[in-house]
Amino acid sequence: MSSFAQDRDQTLVPFLAASGREIISVVNLGELTKFPFLASVWGDVATWVGATATGLAALIAAITYALGRRGEKWAQAQLVYFEPGADAMYEVHNRSDKPIVDVRAVLKRRSLYSAARVGSYSDSVIFRSPTVASFPSYEFYLSAKQGHSRRLSATPQSNRFAEKIEPDHAGKVKADWIHVNGYKSYIEFRDVHGRDWQFDVEAERLRPLKRRPTFLRLKSKPWWAAWWIAKNNAIYIWRNCLYHPNGKPPR
């Protein structure tokens, strides 16, 4: 063994503690090469178990706090429920011990993506339900394109039917604002903490109302419908107008 290797193996490496003081124990580099997990360097099993337990305790505390905050956030909203009422009315019941305000029915134009996703083809074409034997179907495309070209108002229509609903009371809105062909219906309200909530009547799902758009919400924008129509138009041209070596495929 060369003198350089001997000098390297005999080098003592001090380890500094968090306080900046030197640790009393030092380790020979030759031993560390042969035994990389020395207890004098990395700590024994008890030290690792203690550190792991401390980390898990901190993680559990953080998760418990987050769940507690979520429970507080949903505490009042989950006590508000919605159901069809008598005389073609839709009822909003407040079973919490605090009032809700600014209760309104909101109609938003149904996108072609939304209609196709839920299978409500009549809602996408507004005026009739085409036969959809296969997707994409050119008949469905024609009807959807004609219905979409009517350019219904893209601005959400709103009807505030109750300024405030007291605890153990209910507000009512006409079903005409709930079941509108070509539109999706929502019930929106604000809780006592100033949080806005939205109930999707079709999906029967309550969620916090987010003001910022997300990627999934962007799919309901007009450009998504325009892309959908362009894609189906290209498919139709390929199927019916372009040359096919094995003959034209069936519609």
pTM above 0.85, yes or no: no
Query: Quick one: pLDDT at residue 130?
Result: 39
* Higher-pLDDT residue of 157, 133: 157
Query: Quick one: pLDDT at residue 175?
Result: 79
Query: Quick one: pLDDT at residue 112?
Result: 62
Pairing of strands 183-190, 169-174: unpaired
Query: Quick one: pLDDT at residue 156?
Result: 59
Cis peptide before 136 (omega within 30 of 0): yes
In Å, what is the CA distance from 4 to each residue of 7, 28, 243? 5, 15, 78
Contact 172, 55 (CB under 8 A): no
Q: How many residues does the chain have?
A: 251
Query: Quick one: pLDDT at residue 16?
Result: 40
Mean pLDDT computed over 135-163? 59
* pLDDT at position 243 over 60: no
- Name, in order, each residue with C-beta under 8 angstroms of 60's C-beta and a sequence gap of 6 or more: none
* pLDDT at position 87 over 60: yes
Contact 27, 41 (CB under 8 A): yes
